C-alpha cells in the first residue's frame, strides 16, 4: 500500500494546468504553435517534423501538495505530514498529467496560399480530484468520525489514451484576418471515467431501540465507473500482452470520435493583435469493449442477527453470513452494463492580446522568418487566457508574455502564469533555426527548477522540425 502511495507522490512531484502550453501558444517560429491555434499567422513555406521527435510534451501537476511537503528531510514523522496534508487539502484539489508524443507533423503552403498541415499524435491524459473524505476514512478509520457522512461523490477521475489524426487548413483572408480549422479523428485505445457520483457512508451510534451498537449507513449511493477498452484486457496474461493489445488499437482500432479545432488571428491597427482558438470541440463514441460498473442503493448494516433456532442433530443453522451478503448485494447492487456512451473531449479555449513593437528586419537583411510578407515585430508583449473544461468545471490560467526575435535564427518567449497551482510560474521557450533544422524547448515553473520537489506543476515541450522558407 505504501508503495502505491509513494508512486503517486513521486509521480506528482516529478512531474501547470494540464495541457496548457502557454509558452508555445502564439510562438509562431515553432510549427507546433499551429496545433494551439489553427488560425495562426504561419511564417514558413513548409515544415516537416522529425518523426517521433517533433513534439514531446509532458505536463503534470497537483494542487495542494508537493513532493517536498511529504518527503522533505526533517525529524518530524512522515505520517504526521501526510495526515496534515490530507486534512489541509480540499476535495477540489486535483492531480493531473498529460503526455503527448507527435508521431508525424507536416505542413505546406499550397498555390492558393492555404497552409495545409496534418499529423498524428498520441495523448495520455489523466486527472483525479482528491477524494478527501475517503482519504480520511482510509487513513483514520471511522472511530473518530461517528455521525460524519463520508462523501462518496468526491470520487471524480478520468483517464484516456488516445491517438489523434488531424488535418487542418490555414489562410490569411485579408490584411487583418487569418483563420484556420483542423479536423481531428480520435481513436481511443483506453478510457475510464468516474464522475457525477453521489452518496454518503455514515457510522452512527445506535439508540436504545437500535438493533445493535452502531448503524453503518450507505445512503443514496450511486457510483459509476465507465470503461472502454478495458474488458478485453482482463483475461490477458502479463504486461507485454496488455501493452501490445492497447497499442494494436492505435491505428483506428479503438473507439472512434471526431472533433475540430478552430482559430483566428486579427490585427487591430498597426501594433495590436487579437487571437483565439477552441481546441478539441468534439466527442468520442465509445461503442465497443465498453463496460460500465454501477453500484447504487441505500443500506443500513447492523451486524449479524442470531436467532438460535431449535435444531435437530446434524441440522445446520441459518446461513447468516450468506444472507447478509445477499442483502447487501440486493440493496446496493453492483451492475455491469455494456451501454455505449459518448465522451466529450476536454474543450480548451485560448485567447491572446498582444502588442508588437520594433519592426523586425528593419536592417534590410533577408526577412527569412516572414514569408507571408506581412510585418513582423521584433518584440511582442501581451496577455493570454486559457481554459480547459474538466469534470468539476473549467480550470483557468492567465499568462503575461514577452516574445522577442533575437536574430533571424533565434527567438525566445518568456511567460508569467497564474493558475490553480501557483502565482509564481515563470516559463521560458527558445526556438533556434540551424539551417533548415528547427529546435525548440519550452519549460515553465523555472523558479522551481532549483528544487523540483517544491514544484506543484511542471510542463515541458521540446521537439525538432525541418522548416523550409521560401527562396
Partner 1 sequence: MNKLPLYVFVLVSTCLLFTACVKDTDFDQAEAISLTPIVELDLIYFNLQANRFFDSINSNPILTVSDTTDIRFLDDSSLQEYLKRADFYFKFTNSIPRDFQVDFQFLSETNDTAYVAGTAVSQGTVSTPVLTEFTQIVEGEDILRLTQANKVVVSVTIDSSAQNLEGNLNLKSKTTYYLEN
* Chain positions contacting partner 1, by CB under 8 A: 1-3, 5-6, 9-10, 13-14, 67-68, 71-73, 77-79, 82, 137-144, 146, 203, 206, 210-214, 216, 301-309, 316-317, 319-322, 406-407, 409-410, 412, 428, 430, 432-435, 439, 441, 443, 446, 449-453
Residue closer to partner 1 by CB (options 80, 471) is: 80
Closest approach of partner 1 to the CB of residue 355, in Å: 25
Closest approach of partner 1 to the CB of residue 100, in Å: 19
Closest approach of partner 1 to the CB of residue 74, in Å: 8
> Which of 281, 12, 294, 21 minimizes the C-alpha distance to 128?
12
Residue closer to partner 1 by CB (options 14, 251) is: 14
Closest approach of partner 1 to the CB of residue 268, in Å: 32
Residue 410 · residue 432 · CB < 8 Å:
yes
104 C-beta neighbours (distance < 10 Å), count = 15
The SS3 of residue 333 is strand
Residue closer to partner 1 by CB (options 142, 379) is: 142
Closest approach of partner 1 to the CB of residue 332, in Å: 16
Q: Which residue, chain included where needed, has cell 484486457?
A: 233
Closest approach of partner 1 to the CB of residue 443, in Å: 5
Closest approach of partner 1 to the CB of residue 83, in Å: 10
Residue closer to partner 1 by CB (options 49, 427) is: 427
Q: Which residue, chain included where needed, has cell 521540446?
A: 462
Residue closer to partner 1 by CB (options 252, 320) is: 320
> Which of 108, 118, 122 minimizes the C-alpha distance to 167?
118
Closest approach of partner 1 to the CB of residue 433, in Å: 6
Residue closer to partner 1 by CB (options 313, 322) is: 322
Q: What burial class does residue 283 get, using C-beta atoms within 10 Å of its C-beta: 0-12 exposed, 13-18 middle, 19+ buried?
A: middle
Residue 18: all three cell numbers together:
494540464
The SS3 of residue 196 is coil
Q: Which H or E run includes 194?
A: strand 177-194
The SS3 of residue 302 is coil
Could you tell me how many residues make up the chain?
A: 471
Q: Which residue, chain included where needed, has cell 484556420?
A: 180
> Which of 467, 393, 386, 390 minimizes the C-alpha distance to 427?
386
Residue closer to partner 1 by CB (options 66, 224) is: 66
CA–CA distance, 68 with 142 (Å, rounded to integer): 29
Residue closer to partner 1 by CB (options 73, 336) is: 73
Residue closer to partner 1 by CB (options 243, 305) is: 305
Spell out a b/e string for 172-206, using b for 16 or more CB atoms within 10 Å of the CB, else e: beeeeebbbbbbbbbbbbbbbbbbebebbbbbeee
Closest approach of partner 1 to the CB of residue 219, in Å: 17
> Which of 235, 237, 236, 284 minimizes the C-alpha distance to 258?
284
Q: Which H or E run includes 323?
A: helix 320-331
Residue closer to partner 1 by CB (options 67, 352) is: 67
Going from the C-alpha of 193 to that of each of 167, 267, 291, 310, the distances in angstroms are 28, 41, 11, 51
Q: How do beta strands 198-205 and 157-172 pair?
A: unpaired
Closest approach of partner 1 to the CB of residue 77, in Å: 7
Residue closer to partner 1 by CB (options 155, 443) is: 443
Closest approach of partner 1 to the CB of residue 293, in Å: 21
CA–CA distance, 290 with 229 (Å, rounded to integer): 6
Residue closer to partner 1 by CB (options 122, 302) is: 302
Cα radius of gyration rounded to whole Å, the chain? 27
- Backbone phi and psi for residue 261, each to the nearest 5 degrees, phi listed first: -110, 140
Residue 277 · residue 263 · CB < 8 Å:
yes
Q: Which H or E run includes 357?
A: strand 348-359
Closest approach of partner 1 to the CB of residue 434, in Å: 5
Amino acid at each position: 500500500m505504501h508503495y502505491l502511495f509513494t508512486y503517486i507522490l513521486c509521480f506528482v512531484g516529478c512531474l501547470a494546468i494540464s495541457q496548457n502550453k502557454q509558452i508555445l501558444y502564439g510562438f509562431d517560429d515553432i510549427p507546433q504553435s499551429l496545433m494551439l491555434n489553427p488560425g495562426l499567422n504561419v511564417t514558413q513555406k513548409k515544415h516537416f517534423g522529425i518523426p517521433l521527435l517533433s513534439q514531446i510534451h509532458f505536463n503534470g501537476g497537483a494542487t495542494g501538495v508537493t513532493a517536498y511537503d511529504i518527503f522533505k528531510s526533517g525529524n518530524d514523522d512522515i505520517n504526521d505530514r501526510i495526515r496534515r496534508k490530507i486534512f489541509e487539502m480540499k476535495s477540489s484539489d486535483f492531480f493531473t498529467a498529460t503526455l503527448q508524443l507527435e508521431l508525424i507533423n507536416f505542413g505546406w503552403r499550397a498555390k492558393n496560399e492555404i497552409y495545409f498541415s496534418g499529423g498524428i499524435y498520441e495523448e495520455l491524459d489523466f486527472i483525479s480530484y482528491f477524494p478527501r473524505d475517503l482519504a480520511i476514512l482510509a487513513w483514520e478509520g471511522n472511530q473518530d468520525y461517528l455521525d460524519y457522512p463520508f462523501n462518496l461523490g468526491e470520487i471524480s477521475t478520468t483517464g484516456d489514451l488516445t491517438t489523434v489524426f488531424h488535418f487542418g487548413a490555414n489562410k490569411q483572408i485579408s490584411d487583418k484576418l487569418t483563420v484556420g480549422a483542423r479536423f481531428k479523428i480520435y481513436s481511443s485505445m483506453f478510457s475510464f471515467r468516474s464522475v457525477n457520483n453521489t452518496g454518503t457512508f455514515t457510522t452512527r451510534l445506535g439508540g436504545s431501540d437500535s438493533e445493535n451498537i452502531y448503524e453503518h449507513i450507505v445512503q443514496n449511493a450511486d457510483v459509476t465507473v465507465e470503461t472502454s477498452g478495458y474488458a478485453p484486457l482482463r483475461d490477458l496474461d502479463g504486461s507485454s500482452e496488455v501493452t501490445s493489445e492497447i497499442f494494436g488499437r492505435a491505428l483506428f482500432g479503438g473507439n472512434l470520435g471526431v472533433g475540430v479545432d478552430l482559430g483566428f488571428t486579427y490585427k487591430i491597427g498597426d501594433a495590436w493583435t487579437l487571437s483565439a482558438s477552441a481546441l478539441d470541440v468534439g466527442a468520442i463514441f465509445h461503442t465497443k469493449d465498453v463496460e460500465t460498473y454501477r453500484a447504487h442503493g441505500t443500506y443500513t448494516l447492523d451486524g449479524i442477527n442470531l436467532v438460535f433456532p431449535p435444531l435437530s442433530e446434524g441440522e445446520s443453522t441459518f446461513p447468516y453470513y450468506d444472507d447478509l451478503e445477499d442483502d447487501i448485494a440486493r440493496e446496493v447492487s453492483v451492475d455491469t452494463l455494456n451501454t455505449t456512451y459518448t465522451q466529450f473531449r476536454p474543450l480548451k479555449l485560448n485567447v491572446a492580446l498582444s502588442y508588437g513593437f520594433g519592426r523586425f528586419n528593419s536592417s534590410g537583411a533577408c526577412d527569412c522568418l516572414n514569408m507571408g510578407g506581412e510585418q513582423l515585430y521584433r518584440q511582442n508583449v501581451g496577455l493570454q487566457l486559457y481554459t480547459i473544461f474538466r469534470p468539476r468545471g473549467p480550470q483557468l490560467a492567465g499568462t503575461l508574455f514577452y516574445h522577442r526575435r533575437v536574430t533571424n535564427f533565434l527567438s525566445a518567449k518568456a511567460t508569467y502564469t497564474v493558475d490553480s497551482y501557483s502565482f509564481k510560474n515563470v516559463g521560458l521557450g527558445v526556438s533556434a533555426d540551424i539551417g533548415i533544422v528547427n529546435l525548440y524547448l519550452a519549460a515553465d515553473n523555472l523558479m522551481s527548477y532549483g528544487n523540483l520537489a517544491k514544484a506543484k506543476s511542471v510542463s515541458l515541450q521540446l521537439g525538432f522540425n525541418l522548416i523550409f522558407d521560401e527562396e
